[in-house]
């Protein structure tokens, strides 16, 4: 009898150990299943943070636009010089363009967020299905055995202590059954929550797309207004010597700016070359080597073959060097292109100016070496900063119509030793 009692107790212990092992295995499996979406939730939070930051930028653009529009509506606007008015219109266009780029980046982030949410839904559904199969298996077992399985466990007890142990064991089973049901319910709730978040994110995406369409319409209206302003100005430019002189002075100022930047770059490179030679001499003295080497200085940001690339890929020349323009000759070559099209470096070199001029609008200048510099103007916006080293074909800005421009295009100039030359001789 004692042996049977010990055998029964050992059997119960083994059952409890089995249950504990099963629980541990289930816990590990559950945690490995749950851990993956936790990573995705963290990633989604990053994406949502980026969306919030972009929306903050958008609010700042809207604030600046309200200020610009207030200036346009103000009485003083009518008394500004003509090219100053165009500069204000350009500022408004640039802010609208920044809003469009902001919304486009926001839409990209929403697509990333939707991908995260869809993956979360997939994992939540898998967890729910796993919990459902477990719960269904247990319910089927209960249907087959019913309450008799519990009674059988209790009636097989061999002593009062054994009965208490069996009651505790039955309680564990019942709590485990309740836990299975609770886990199934939790999984279903999580699935519904993630699905709801996914739908909400998709709705926000559609709202951003609608805003993008509205902003694109607004941009086109502002461009038409600015282009019409310049067209009216050009009709009277012959009679308005002040405007003509202002544009000529602007071109001269920018050329002086380019020459000064080139001179500064030359001095900087001479100093770098001097330092390089000094380091080389020190290294030779330390190594005891008598060999010498070096390279000539005085280049302006690189070397060029003299054959420049097309600054607007796929663009066509719409106005050539030397064509009559407002009582004077055209000082560059114009390339047609859609608003926002890429403008690329005609050759590798160093960016020496990124600025705005009343005639040129947004412009970028690159020094290529051998005394050659190129200028890209009327840009909607630039994609580089002063001091950047760029390679041939790298995007430096985008086609626009800032400054004295009636349509989106690129005004391209080439300087050789500080003098404007016909760009087509170098293309």
Residues 330-340 pLDDT 10s: 788 999 999 99
Instruction: Kindly state the tokens that stand for 282.
Output: 């020190």
φ, ψ of residue 358 in degrees (nearest 5)? -60, -35
Q: Are residues 280 and 406 in the same domain?
A: yes
Q: Tell me how many domains the chain contains.
A: 2
Which three-class secondary structure state does DSSP give residue 368? strand
Q: Are residues 150 and 214 in the same domain?
A: yes
Note the pLDDT of residue 28.
38
Q: Does residue 306 sit within a domain? A: yes
Q: What parts of the chain have a pLDDT lower than 50?
A: 1-4, 6-7, 9, 12-39, 41, 147-148, 154, 160, 163, 239, 290-303
Note the pLDDT of residue 365.
94
Count Cβ atoms within 10 A of the Cβ of residue 26 and give its class: 0-12 exposed, 13-18 middle, 19 or more buried: middle
**How many residues are given for the chain?**
427
φ, ψ of residue 315 in degrees (nearest 5)? -80, 155
φ, ψ of residue 343 in degrees (nearest 5)? -115, 125
Q: Are residues 114 and 46 in the same domain?
A: yes
How many Cβ atoms from other residues are within 10 Å of residue 347's Cβ? Answer: 26
Residues of the domain holding 358? 256-286+299-425
Q: Are residues 188 and 264 in the same domain?
A: no
Nearest Cα neighbor of 326 from 226, 225, 404, 423 is: 404
Q: Are residues 220 and 314 in the same domain?
A: no
Please identify, among 218, 233, 248, the residue that sits at the C-terminal boundary of a domain: 233
Q: Are residues 174 and 274 in the same domain?
A: no
Residue pair 325/247 in contact by the 8 Å Cβ criterion:
no
Q: Does residue 208 sit within a domain? A: yes
Q: Are residues 386 and 309 in the same domain?
A: yes
Note the pLDDT of residue 395.
95
| Beta partners for residue 377, in sequence order | 411
- Radius of gyration over alpha carbons of the chain, in Å? 37
Q: Does residue 244 sit within a domain? A: no
Instruction: Kindly state the tokens that stand for 366.
Output: 């690159």
Q: Are residues 30 and 92 in the same domain?
A: yes
238-247 pLDDT tens trace: 545 566 666 7
Q: Are residues 274 and 170 in the same domain?
A: no
Residue pair 372/389 in contact by the 8 Å Cβ criterion:
no
Q: Are residues 187 and 40 in the same domain?
A: yes
Q: What is the DSSP letter of 308?
A: P
| Beta partners for residue 344, in sequence order | 395
Q: Are residues 265 and 225 in the same domain?
A: no
Note the pLDDT of residue 174.
54
Q: Does residue 238 sit within a domain? A: no
Q: Are residues 223 and 260 in the same domain?
A: no
| Beta partners for residue 355, in sequence order | 363
Instruction: Kindly state the tokens that stand for 267.
Output: 């001095």
φ, ψ of residue 402 in degrees (nearest 5)? -70, 155
Q: Does residue 397 sit within a domain? A: yes
The residue behind tokens 């097989």 is 156
Q: Does residue 245 sit within a domain? A: no
Statement: the pTM of the whole predicted model exceeds 0.85: no
Q: Does residue 293 sit within a domain? A: no
Q: Does residue 241 sit within a domain? A: no
Count Cβ atoms within 10 A of the Cβ of residue 13 and give its class: 0-12 exposed, 13-18 middle, 19 or more buried: exposed
């Amino acid at each position: 009898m004692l042996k049977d009692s010990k055998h029964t107790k050992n059997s119960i212990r083994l059952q409890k150990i089995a249950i504990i092992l099963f629980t541990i295995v289930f816990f590990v499996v559950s945690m490995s299943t749950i851990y993956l979406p936790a990573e995705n939730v963290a990633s989604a939070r990053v994406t949502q943070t980026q969306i919030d930051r972009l929306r903050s930028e958008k609010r700042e653009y809207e604030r600046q636009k309200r200020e610009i529009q207030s200036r346009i509506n103000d009485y003083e606007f009518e008394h500004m010089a003509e090219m100053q008015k165009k500069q204000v219109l350009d500022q408004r266009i640039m802010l609208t363009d920044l809003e469009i780029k902001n919304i486009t980046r926001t839409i990209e982030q929403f697509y990333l967020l939707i991908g995260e949410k869809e993956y979360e839904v997939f994992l939540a559904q898998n967890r729910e299905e796993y919990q459902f199969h477990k719960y269904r298996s247990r319910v089927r077992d209960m249907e087959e055995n019913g309450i008799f399985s519990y009674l059988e466990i209790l009636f097989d007890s061999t002593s009062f202590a054994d009965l208490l142990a069996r009651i505790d064991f039955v309680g564990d089973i019942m709590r485990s059954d309740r836990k299975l049901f609770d886990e199934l319910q939790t999984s279903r709730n999580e699935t519904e929550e993630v699905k709801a978040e996914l739908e909400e994110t998709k709705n926000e995406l559609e709202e951003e797309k609608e805003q993008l369409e509205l902003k694109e319409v607004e941009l086109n209206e502002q461009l038409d207004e600015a282009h019409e302003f310049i067209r009216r100005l050009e009709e009277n430019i012959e009679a308005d010597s002040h405007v003509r002189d202002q544009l000529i002075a602007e071109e001269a100022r920018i050329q002086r700016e380019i020459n000064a930047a080139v001179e500064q770059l030359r001095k900087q490179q001479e100093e770098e070359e001097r330092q390089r030679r000094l380091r080389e001499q020190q290294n030779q003295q330390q190594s005891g080597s008598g060999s010498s080497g070096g390279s000539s200085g005085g280049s302006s940001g690189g070397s060029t073959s003299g054959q420049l690339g097309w600054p607007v890929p796929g663009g066509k020349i719409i106005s050539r060097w030397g064509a009559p323009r407002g009582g004077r000759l055209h000082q560059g070559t114009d390339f047609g292109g859609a608003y926002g099209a890429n403008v690329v470096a005609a050759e590798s070199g160093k960016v020496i100016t990124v600025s705005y001029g009343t005639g040129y609008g947004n412009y970028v200048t690159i020094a290529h070496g051998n005394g050659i510099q190129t200028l890209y103007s009327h840009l909607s916006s630039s994609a580089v900063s002063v001091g950047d080293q760029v390679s041939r074909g790298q995007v430096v800005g985008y086609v626009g119509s800032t400054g004295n421009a009636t349509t989106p295009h690129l005004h391209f100039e080439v300087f050789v030793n500080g003098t404007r030359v016909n760009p087509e001789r170098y293309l």
